[in-house]
């Protein structure tokens, strides 16, 4: 048990950001990792030129890294946005334009998890209208994910850092997931269980794990406070990951933490080099 028993991947949208995007897979590989995940890398466009998609695939392949998680277009992230799919008008349209592009890129890289961030509440728009739009778009995303053999992830964020995001508890995300699965009949909508976000919301993490491990499609971690590497805060991450494993979770654990003032490659001292490669 413990960290060496887990299947980790590195989030290249929060780690190795001191490097250009196309150099990050090789840097992760040099640190010993062979599995990576990404937020949607083109925050300005849901439909980048094919040449840019091809260049990213080549960088992943050349480094010997497997893409195991990818966000759909989520607006300005990092930045003020927390997704696009529930935001009426242009942002919803951009999300829809991205669905098949992201799914096809996932298929080309062998990535089997696609994360759809819900989006912030919009002033002056009825939340019920946003939720109806969200369900419509998540159904489209779930079908696209299913087409390429992927699961759809729905994520809880934390209220202190994302005050306008409506899914700030595990049950809120699970309710959405259940509605998507009921609407599609596919059963491929799953929970992205982020221990950092849930802890920031003050949830009982062991209880969340017990209740929802079976519906969890991906896990992400950072320590709290500070969103740093394991060991920089007070979360018992090693124990919690063991609890997830005991509850039946066998998937990936994404390292979605900030490296602090040091280069990203120096932030992995908590994890033995022998435990970094994908299994």
CA distance 252 to 132: 31
User: For the purposes of burial, counting CB atoms within 10 Å of the CB of 57, is it exposed (0-12), middle (13-18) or buried (19 or more)?
Assistant: middle
Before 81, cis peptide (omega within 30)?
no
The rounded Cα 82 to chain-centroid distance in angstroms is 12
Task: Give the C-alpha distances (Å, rounded to integers) separating 168 from 22, 117, 150, 158.
Answer: 33, 12, 24, 5
Q: What is the DSSP string of 27-65?
A: HHHHTT--EEEES-S-TT-SS--HHHHHHHHHHHHHHT-
**Cβ-Cβ contacts under 8 Å for 138 (sequence gap 6 or more):** 85, 116, 152, 154, 176, 180, 189
* Cβ atoms of 115 and 77 closer than 8 Å: no
Burial 17-49, CB ≥16 within 10 A → b, else e: eebebbebbbbbbebbbbbbbbbbbbbeebebe
The rounded Cα 95 to chain-centroid distance in angstroms is 16
Of these residues, 91, 155, 203, 243, which one is catalytic?
A: 155
Of these residues, 37, 91, 243, 256, which one is catalytic?
A: 256
Catalytic: 155?
A: yes
Which positions are catalytic? 155, 256
């Amino acid at each position: 048990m413990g960290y060496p028993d887990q299947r980790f991947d590195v989030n290249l949208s929060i780690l190795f950001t001191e490097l250009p995007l196309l150099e990050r897979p090789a840097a992760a590989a040099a640190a010993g990792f062979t599995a990576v995940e990404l937020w949607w890398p083109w925050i300005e466009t849901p439909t980048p030129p094919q040449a840019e998609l091809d260049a990213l695939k080549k960088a992943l392949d050349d480094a010997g890294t497997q893409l195991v998680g990818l966000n759909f277009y989520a607006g300005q992230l990092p930045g003020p946005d927390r997704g696009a799919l529930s935001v009426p008008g242009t942002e919803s349209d951009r999300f829809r334009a991205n669905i098949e592009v992201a799914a096809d890129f996932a298929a080309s890289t062998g990535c089997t998890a696609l994360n759809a961030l819900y989006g912030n509440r919009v002033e002056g728009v009825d939340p019920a209208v946003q939720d109806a739009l969200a369900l419509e778009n998540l159904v489209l995303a779930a079908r696209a994910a299913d087409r390429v053999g992927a699961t759809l992830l729905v994520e809880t964020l934390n209220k202190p850092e994302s005050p306008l995001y409506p899914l700030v508890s595990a049950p809120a995300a699970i309710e959405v997931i259940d509605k998507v699965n009921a609407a599609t009949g596919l059963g491929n909508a799953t929970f992205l269980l982020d221990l950092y976000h849930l802890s920031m919301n003050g949830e009982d993490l062991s209880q969340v794990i017990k209740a929802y491990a079976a519906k969890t499609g991906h896990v992400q971690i950072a320590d709290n406070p500070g969103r740093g590497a394991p060991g920089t805060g007070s979360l018992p991450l090693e124990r919690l990951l063991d609890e997830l494993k005991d509850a039946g979770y066998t998937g990936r654990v994404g390292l979605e933490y900030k490296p602090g003032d040091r280069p990203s490659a120096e932030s992995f001292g908590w994890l033995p080099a022998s435990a970094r490669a994908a299994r």
